[in-house]
Amino acid sequence: MFSSDFLHHAYFIEGDRRAVLADIEKFLYESFKIIRRGHPDVHYSEHESFGIDESRRLRGMQSMKPVLGGKKIFIIAFDGLTDEAQNSLLKIFEEPTPETHFFVISSSARMLLPTLRSRVVVIFHSSAKNISPGDNEAERFVAMSPRDRLVFVARKAEKKDRTAAEMFLKALIAELHEKKLETRAKSIREIVSLAKYVKDRSPSLKLILERVALLDL
């Protein structure tokens, strides 16, 4: 997946967060004897939605010299990514500091703007096949009327398959990003927030999906 002979400055890996992170950790240790946990020059962060504030913090951190004088590694995982943040990341990836490498993990590369995509190596992890179904559903869902969306989510809720519902919401987020519907930024943020509750058995899956159906998409 990665090459220690030529390590690119920025990777975007589509796949399951835990599975991808495990492979990155294995690669760093086997290639450079770097252990992620506790290493002062390896920075890992998780975000529901990666926005301009997060990008600015990253820009500041990556400009600092490494503590141990070797490589500086940033591993960033998120569900959503704003266009504003992408434009900021573009500047970071265009002029990376020496020996600085970025590993970006998300469920779909479809959210990337063409300009940012051209600056990263996109990798489709083997775990991506476990989270990709639902893309066509998401496209159809956006085009539906609110009434049809409610019918759609009622049927999905009846199946009580929270994993499938989570996959659908991730596909929906990617679909809205791909359509560049920045006027729907608020809705995207709300879907990202709702998605984290899907696997929790307490909230009603039907109520979560109904809330999504009534958003301005």
Per-residue pLDDT of the chain (217 residues; tens, 9 = 90+): 788 878 899 999 998 899 999 999 999 999 999 999 999 999 999 998 899 999 999 999 998 988 998 899 999 999 888 888 999 999 999 888 888 999 999 988 888 888 998 899 999 888 775 554 455 688 889 888 888 899 889 988 988 888 788 878 888 887 787 666 556 778 888 898 888 888 776 678 999 999 999 998 8
CA distance 81 to 50: 5
CA distance 58 to 74: 9
pLDDT at 60: 93
CA distance 135 to 167: 9
Secondary element (H or E) of residue 212: helix 205-213
Strand order in the sheet with 121-124: 42-50, 72-81, 100-106, 10-14, 121-124
198 neighbors 169 (Cβ within 8 angstroms): yes
pLDDT at 181: 58
Sign of the CA dihedral 37, 39, 42, 45? Answer: positive
12 neighbors 106 (Cβ within 8 angstroms): yes
The helix/strand/coil state of 181 is: coil
At 67, list the tokens: 């503590």
- Position 173, amino acid: I
